[in-house]
Structure 1
Amino acid sequence: MVAGTFTKTFFSTIFNKVHCLAQDGRDNGFGNGYVWAGSLESGIQIATHHKKPVMVIIHKSWCSACKNLKPKFANSAEIQSLSKHFVMVNLVDEEEPKNNTFSPDGTYIPRILFISPKGLVDHDIYNEEGSSQHKYFYSRPEQIAKSMRRVLEKYKYEQFDV
C-alpha cells in the first residue's frame, strides 16, 4: 500500500515537472500565442506521454528567411488553431540538433520537421509546394498549415489530448 502511494506520488511529481517544462519555452519571435516546449527533449517527452505529434522549427537568429517567416507564423490564426494538437518546439542557433535525423536533405534554415507521437522524425511530411532540394523549407503559413493537417490526418488513429 505504501509502495503504491509512493509510486503514484513519484510519477505525479515527474509528470508535473515534465509538463511544466512546456511552459518554459521561448517564442524566439515565432509568437507568444503558442505554447512552446522548453527543449527538444522535453517536447518529445511531453508528446510521447500525451500521444501528440511535435512540430520542430529550426532557425538562426541572423537568418533573413527566418526573420521573414516569424511574423507570418506568429500572426497565423490557422497555425495557432492547429498548434493545439501539437507539442511546439523552436530551436535557435546552437540549440539545433547535431543529429543528421534533423537535417535529412541539408542544414538550410529555416527547417520545419514533424515528429510522430511515438517520438520519431517523420520524413514523409514536408512542404509539397516547395523545392525538391529543400523539402522542409517553408516560406508561407498556408504551406505550414497544410503539412500540419497532413500530420493530424496521418496520425488520426492516435489519441490526441485537446
Structure 2
Amino acid sequence: MQSNLFVCCLLLLCTALGEAATRKPKKQPAAEASNTAKADPEPTDASQPKTLARGWGDSIQWVQTYEEALAKCRELRKPLMVIHHLEDCPFSQELKKAFSADNMAQKLARDDFVMLNVVHPVADENQSPDGHYVPRVMFVDPSMTVRTDLAGRYSNRLYAYEAGDIPELITNMKKAKILLKTEL
C-alpha cells in the first residue's frame, strides 16, 4: 500500500514538473525586462548537456530540435521517436537507464529512427494530446503525422512508459517501422 502511494506521489510530482515546464513566464514591464536581461549571466557550457544523448544512448545519432527532427524524418523517410523527459524526474531517470541498457531498443533507435529527446516542451501541441507529463514517448511518421495509435499500457497516461515497459516500447518501435512501410 505504501509503495503504491509512493509511486502515485512520484508520478504526480513528475506530472507537475512537466506542466510547470510548459507554462509561459509572465511578461515583465519593458524597463524591468531590460534590467533583468543585463543582470542574468549567459548560460555556461557547464549547464548544457555534454551530448545530445543526455544518457539515452551515445551510439545513437540524436537531433537537436523538433524542427530539425521533422525535416530529417521527411528527408530520410524514417519515423521520428520523441522522448519527453525531465532530468530531475525519477521516472524519467529509470526509463533512461532501462532504455540505454537494452540492446534491442538501442539498435532500433540507432538504425531505424530519427531520434530526439527533449527536456522542454515542443511547440507542436500534437506532442501532448493527453497532457504534458513525463516521461512520454511519441512517434511521428515522415508524413508529419503524430502516431497517437502507438500508445503505452496506461489508460490515464497513454504515452507514458516505465522502466519495466521497455518490451512494450520496443513493440511500438517495431510497429512504427511496419506502419511506415505499409502506409507510405
Q: Tell me, what secondary structure is at the counterpart of 1:60?
A: coil
Of 145, 165, 171 in structure 2, the residue corresponding to residue 120 of structure 1 is 145
Shift of 1:28: 1.2
Give the Cα separation in 1 of the matches to 2:116 and 2:129.
18
Moved runs in structure 1, 4+ residues, more than 3 A? Answer: none
Q: Describe the shift of the 1:158–1:35 C-alpha distance in structure 2 as closer, same or farther (beyond 3 A).
A: farther
The alignment covers a number of residue pairs equal to 132
1:7-156 mapped onto 2 (5 Å cutoff): 26-83=52-109, 84-92=111-119, 94=120, 96-127=121-152, 130-139=153-162, 140-156=165-181
Contact 1:66 1:110 in 2 (8 A): yes
Residue 12 (structure 1) aligns with: none
Q: Would you tell me which structure has more helix in proportion to its own residues?
A: 2
Give the Cα separation in 2 of the matches to 1:39 and 1:99.
12
Is the radius of gyration larger for structure 1 or structure 2? 2
Amino acid at match of 1:58: H
Amino acid at match of 1:155: L
Give the Cα separation in 2 of the matches to 1:50 and 1:25.
22
Give the Cα separation in 2 of the matches to 1:49 and 1:158.
17
Shift of 1:98: 4.1
Contact 2:57 2:106 in 1 (8 A): no
| Runs of at least 5 residues in structure 1 that lack an aligned partner in the other structure | 1-23
Q: Describe the shift of the 1:40–1:99 C-alpha distance in structure 2 as closer, same or farther (beyond 3 A).
A: closer
Aligned identity (percent) is 29
RMSD between aligned alpha carbons? 1.8
After TM superposition, the score normalised by the length of structure 1 is 0.76
| Runs of at least 5 residues in structure 2 that lack an aligned partner in the other structure | 1-49
